Amino acid sequence: MADETEPKKEDAKPEREKPELKDMSDICPIGKVLVFAEHILGDLQPVTLELLGAGRILADKMSQPLLCVVAGHELGDIPQRLVEYGADVVYVADHPELKNYRTLPYRRVICDFLESLPTQPHTMLLGSTTTGRDLAPRIAAHFDTGLTADTTELDIGHYEHTSKVDPTKIGLYPNCLYAIRPSFGESLKARILGPWKNPQMATTRPGVMTPLTREPGRKGEIIQVPVKLQEEDFRLSVDEIVREVSKGINLTEADVIVSGGYGLGTQEGFNLLQELANCFDNAAVGASRKVVDLGWIPYQNQIGQTGKTVRPKLYIACGISGAIQHRVGMSKSGLIIAINKDPEAPIFKFAHHGIVGDCYQIIPEMIKQFKLAKSTSGVKEVVGTH
């Protein structure tokens, strides 16, 4: 006879008591989004237009206007162009000493401007550029607020803080800035929040966000900001600015990128990639970090978390495994074609088309076919018909 006695159940572990959540809206209130604009020789930097696109999304989620602050001298139509690219209000700090970027004068002007506002912006965004990486931490330190660097995604959402380490912070924080970036090991995405104090700050990598389409004649408010520099702001002087003009096509502006990784086997493999790139107009050769570290190709060709972020119409990855640090630099390409011997390579999970095989057999055939297409219908049509 079967034993009908029920097995003894293990004592259930008591559920951990959740702390009572308080509404913490007053600690980190909803507010406006502010973008710091960068320009060189009268040209707005692409990252500024991308930040305006990202800032517009965040501001709309909170039903708030999008603000922008720009500093310089004899700025011409830059303020109006910022309005046409999405800003509702543009604050302009114009002074001869601001013509070229210097840390201390710019820090003084931006911090004074922020302190002059009735309430601090909810979010402040800067580019992960030489200027942004220098200026952003100084502003964050001045206001004793958080800063997330090199973000690849931005969002707005609520946050439930339940940690008992500091009971005063337990509560529900609505409309927090979610600053998302690859983790330190670059194997996972980290969602970083700092809701304790505004402005919540982040820098974003160039080429990651999508700019809005320019709307000529768009109306917005342009406000002059007083500039009150002090003697201690001039401890550093700029005698001369030397700008290096790189040869060839800029990776971030290329329509087509043919990129190579360690799977090519040898440095000479990049000669074949260059031949493939030559089949297209406005094409460039890129690379993964490993081959750059090996010295096979210069750093200026590196794509990925520690290189450049690109968004070409066509990206051909040759011998690249597709680790997350490379993916964050090219995943928003219009069409991704991957060539790799390893059918389990991570890149095949997000490529639009994958070819399993030897690059040295496949690429020559691609060159042959693209040249044939170019001589008949035109390579632009080939790229555009995917």
The confidence score (pLDDT) of residue 246 equals 58
Q: What is the signed CA dihedral for 325, 326, 327, 331, rounded to 10 degrees? A: 140
DSSP letter string, 75-140:
-TTHHHHHHHTT-SEEEEEE-GGGSS--HHHHHHHHHHHHHHSSS--SEEEEESSHHHHHHHHHHH
311-320 burial, b if ≥16 CB within 10 A, otherwise e?
Answer: bbbbbbbbbb
* Least confident stretch, 15-19, 21-25, 110-114, 343-347: 15-19
Band (pLDDT 50/70/90 cuts) for residue 1 is very low
Over residues 27-45, the mean pLDDT reads: 89
- The larger pLDDT score, comparing residue 53 to residue 25, is at 53
Half-sphere exposure of 162 (CA within 13 A, CB side): 6
The whole-angstrom separation of Cα 93 and Cα 200 is: 22
The confidence score (pLDDT) of residue 385 equals 44
Band (pLDDT 50/70/90 cuts) for residue 95 is very high
Over residues 359-385, the mean pLDDT reads: 76
Over residues 11-15, the mean pLDDT reads: 57
Q: Does pLDDT of 2 surpass 50?
A: no
Within 10 angstroms of residue 362's Cβ, the number of other Cβ atoms is: 15
DSSP 8-state code for residue 5:
P
Over residues 362-372, the mean pLDDT reads: 92
Give the position of tokens 């003697």.
231
DSSP 8-state code for residue 264:
G
Band (pLDDT 50/70/90 cuts) for residue 309 is confident
Q: What pTM value is reported for the model?
A: 0.75
Q: Does pLDDT of 127 surpass 50?
A: yes
How does the average pLDDT of the chain come out, rounded? 88
The confidence score (pLDDT) of residue 109 equals 97
In the chain the domains, ranked by start, together with CATH numbers, are 33-234 (3.40.50.620), 251-384 (3.40.50.1220)
* Least confident stretch, 211-215, 247-251, 277-281, 305-309: 247-251
Q: Report H helices in 240-378.
A: 269-277, 289-293, 324-327, 359-376
The confidence score (pLDDT) of residue 26 equals 78
> Each residue of 102-119: pLDDT tens digit?
999 999 999 999 999 999
> Each residue of 285-294: pLDDT tens digit?
999 999 999 9
- The larger pLDDT score, comparing residue 96 to residue 15, is at 96
